[in-house]
Amino acid sequence: MVATRNIVLLLLCVTVVAPIVLYTDRLGTFKYPFGEQEFIDDVTAFAVSAAGSGHLNILPQETSTVLKEPIGVLYTEGTTNPKNLPHGLHLTQPGEHVSARVLSATNEGGQTKGENPIKLVTEGIDQRNQSSYLEKADITGDVVNGEFAIDADDNEGKIAKSSQASDQASETMDTKHEQQHTESSSKVNRKGPILSETDRHNDQPPSDAWVRQLKDQLIQAKVYLSLQGVRNNPHLTRELRARVKEVSRTLGDASKDSDLPRNANERMKAMEQTLLKGRQVQNDCAAAVKKLRAILHSTEEQLRVHRKQALFLTQLTAKTLPKGLHCLPLRLTTEYYSLDTSRQQFPNQQKLEDPRLYHYAIFSDNILATAVVVNSTVAHAKDTSKHVFHIVTDRLNYAAMRMWFLVNPPRKATIQVQNIEDFKWLNSSYSPVLKQLGSPSMIDYYFKTHRASSDSNLKFRNPKYLSILNHLRFYLPEIFPKLNKVLFLDDDIVVQKDLTGLWSIDLKGNVNGAVETCGESFHRFDRYLNFSNPLIAKNFDPRACGWAYGMNVFDLVQWKRQNITEVYHNWQKLNHDRQLWKLGTLPPGLITFWKRTFPLHRSWHVLGLGYNPNTNQKEIDRAAVIHYNGNMKPWLEISIPKFRGYWTKYVDYDLVYLRECNINP
């Protein structure tokens, strides 16, 4: 028995312990199947051959680089279309696989070092966790081909360079370690189809891909022409200048690829070949960086100037009356004064003070705009005989406004046209704003253009603010002393539904019924009022919700009871130096009707058609009133085309007065 036990123990030792000892010994004596120096030599030779094929950076190859974390984007087979690559990057030849690492071209001091980028990559192979890092690089590396990448950050202006030599080195190393990285490769294969499906889903090339590439080539060519290394080569300089002229002529005013001539692709290829020569010749990285920064600064300055000019011209256009609309009141005025006195009167004048009817207040000097407001309101009214329109205009347009509605009566609705000059009670001794608007300092503020630079917001210098018509909305009880409720309408609105329901809304003791506009953060009190002034900060909430003029229901009974006109006068006196708010009627309206405004449903009044082309279409279709607030009024050429039809359908362009003045849709 003892002998049998000893035999069993011996067999156990041989079958269990011996393999462990042998395996441990092999691990201790394991060597790489290739030497490190041999690997470096192979990769260096491979990178040099790639460089000789023309894949060179705009910076010299001997420039030092520092390895950084690869950007987490994977471009799979579905993204090999050049139009799908990030702007400014070139694509390698078909069949090539590049696993790129983004390398920085400058150190902290902005100076370059002369170390070999291949050596920097290979020196870290024996470090801890290097293999996992390379696997991550293979999965998330960008496919970029040795191009100059400029960061868009204005403050930093950093320059980054991706080194093709290190890309090829990693490719060689991945080939030799193919069996060791089977697991990680399978992960890539599993993720690849998902990303490829996403790329194929977004495989819509931009319509201006070639245009942008040609512009980029022009920038690169101008940079090369400014570098000493290129200037010292007369032949290359002449060739670059010739290419610049060719590409400039090819581009012309093209904004999309379809605008380019047929030979655009040939010109692009020719320019690329010339740029490759420039990359081989130039050797001054600091000069290239300096030139690019100068170009960036110059472009930003030009953009600032053009934006300022565009703003000025837009404001000028908004203030300018088109020729046709200037002609119209002249013709109408001539016709009006040729009528007999008996024919100059409107019918149904007994309805003007009947509080049981629906009364509208419109204050405007624009005849055609006022006509659209009246026509669109009447078109959707259930019983037009119960609607009364009170129009107040200035002396210049009084006769023309009357003549228009005498010739074009709005069905059975009642019309009243008044001249603001006939309001004898409205004078500078009663109205502080009238006194301020007529002061020399205010006129100087508006019309002294050489001082316009003191205020960056040009819209506050629109002379329309000098018109008392804009402030007449604060004197409704004085204008309509026998009415209980009035619907105020701006002249740049269009009515799309019956508005009689507004008179039945209970304002719950408030004076003003309006649609709030604080769905966006910039439509709050702090946008309109100066909260650095202690008087404003003490009495109002900067985050309070603003509301819109344009369609407002005013309870004139509550107005008189709460003495709203006097509240308005007091605040106007405090703002004599314009320190509480700039000019206009909305800021004093927010103050005057503070905690006296009832919020109406948003569907009653939709704004933005005069400045925002992205105004929600569904909201427009549901709205009872649409408002062209902003500079792009529907009667101007700068109006938003897709919104103009809502306005023009209420203008009869076949009328003789419109044809004579060449007013067309």
How confident is the prediction for the chain on average, in pLDDT? 75
Q: Are 361 and 415 in contact (CB under 8 A)?
A: no
The number of distinct structural domains making up the chain is 2
Neighbours of 147 (CB within 10 A): 22
Question: pLDDT tens digit string along 467-485?
Answer: 789 899 999 999 999 999 9
Backbone dihedral angles phi then psi of residue 486, each to the nearest 5 degrees: -135, 140
Residue 288, Cβ density class (10 Å: 0-12 exposed, 13-18 middle, ≥19 buried): buried
Residue bearing the bigger pLDDT, 206 or 513: 513
Flag whether 77 is in a domain. Answer: no
| Beta strand 597-600 pairing with 551-555 | unpaired
Residue 530 lies in a domain: yes
pLDDT computed for residue 475 by the predictor? 96
Tell me how many degrees the CA angle 633-360-350 measures, rounded to the nearest 5.
140
Q: Is residue 36 part of a domain?
A: no
What are the pLDDT digits (tens) for 409-467? 999 999 999 999 999 999 888 988 888 777 777 666 665 544 444 444 555 555 566 67
Angle 567-573-575 from CA coordinates, rounded to 5°: 105
Nearest residue to 627 (alpha-carbon basis) of 416, 380, 376: 376
Residues 327 and 312 in one domain: no
Give Cβ neighbours of residue 355 (< 8 Å, ≥ 6 apart).
Answer: 482, 483, 484, 485
DSSP string over 11-68 = HHIIIIIHHHHHHHHHHHT---SS-HHHHHHHHHHHHHHHHHTT---SS-TT---EE-
- Bin 348: left if φ > 0, else alpha if -120 < ψ < 50, else beta: left
Which segment, 116-120, 139-143, 318-322, 481-485, is predicted with the most confidence on average? 481-485
Query: For the segment 594-631, what is each residue's pLDDT rounded down to a tens digit?
Result: 999 999 999 999 999 999 999 999 999 999 999 999 88
pLDDT at 458: 53
DSSP three-state, residue 602 = helix
Q: Is residue 406 domain-shared with residue 300, that is, in the same domain?
A: no
pLDDT at 40 over 70: no
Q: Which of 107, 108, 121 is nearest to 163 (CA)?
A: 121
With 50 as the cut, is the pLDDT of residue 46 above it?
no
User: Which pLDDT tens digit goes with each residue over 82-137?
Assistant: 444 444 444 444 444 433 333 333 444 444 444 444 344 444 444 444 444 344 33
Task: Specify if 413 maps to a domain.
Answer: yes
Q: Residue 634: what are its φ and ψ, rounded to 5°?
A: -70, -15
Same domain, 573 and 453: yes
In a domain, 354, yes or no: yes
Based on the fold, state whether residues 278 and 292 are members of the same structural domain. yes
Q: How confident is the model at residue 17 (pLDDT cuts 50, 70, 90)?
A: low
Distance from C-alpha of 250 to C-alpha of 244, rounded to nearest angstrom = 10
Domain with 363 in it? 323-661
Same domain, yes or no: 600 and 454: yes
Based on the fold, state whether residues 287 and 382 are members of the same structural domain: no
In terms of Cβ atoms closer than 10 Å to its own Cβ (0-12, 13-18, 19+), residue 577 is: exposed
Q: How confident is the model at residue 326 (pLDDT cuts 50, 70, 90)?
A: confident
**Domain boundary pick from 318, 337, 361:** 318
The mean pLDDT of 376-400, rounded to a whole number, is 96
Q: Return the C-alpha torsion angle 328, 334, 336, 340, nearest 10.
A: -160
Same domain, 604 and 501: yes
Q: Is residue 24 part of a domain?
A: no
| Percent above pLDDT 90 for the chain | 38
Smallest CA-to-CA distance from 545 within 582, 577, 590 is with: 590
Q: Is residue 518's pLDDT more than 50?
A: yes
358 shares a domain with 441? yes
Calculate mean pLDDT across residues 350-376: 96
Share of the chain above pLDDT 70, in %: 66
Does residue 300 fall inside a structural domain?
A: yes
377 & 493 share domain = yes
Q: What is the pLDDT of residues 155-165, one digit of tens each?
A: 333 333 334 44
| CATH code of 560's domain | 3.90.550.10
The dihedral sign for the CA sequence 79, 82, 87, 93: positive
Residues 297 and 399 in one domain: no
Residues, the chain: 665
Residues 424, 552 within the same domain: yes
Q: Is the model's pLDDT at 363 over the cut of 90?
A: yes
Residue at 478 is within a domain? yes
Q: In this structure, are 497 and 634 located in the same domain?
A: yes
User: For residues 473 and 374, what is the distance between their CA atoms, to the nearest angstrom?
Assistant: 18
Residues 77, 78, 81, 84, CA torsion sign: negative
Helical pair 36-52 and 164-176, crossing angle rounded to 10 deg: 130
Domain boundary among 286, 318, 350: 318
What value does the mean pLDDT take over residues 320-325?
A: 82
Positive or negative CA dihedral for 579, 581, 585, 590?
Answer: negative
| Distance in Å from the first CA to the final CA of the chain | 118
Last residue of a domain, one of 285, 318, 351: 318
Whether the pTM exceeds 0.75: the reply is: no
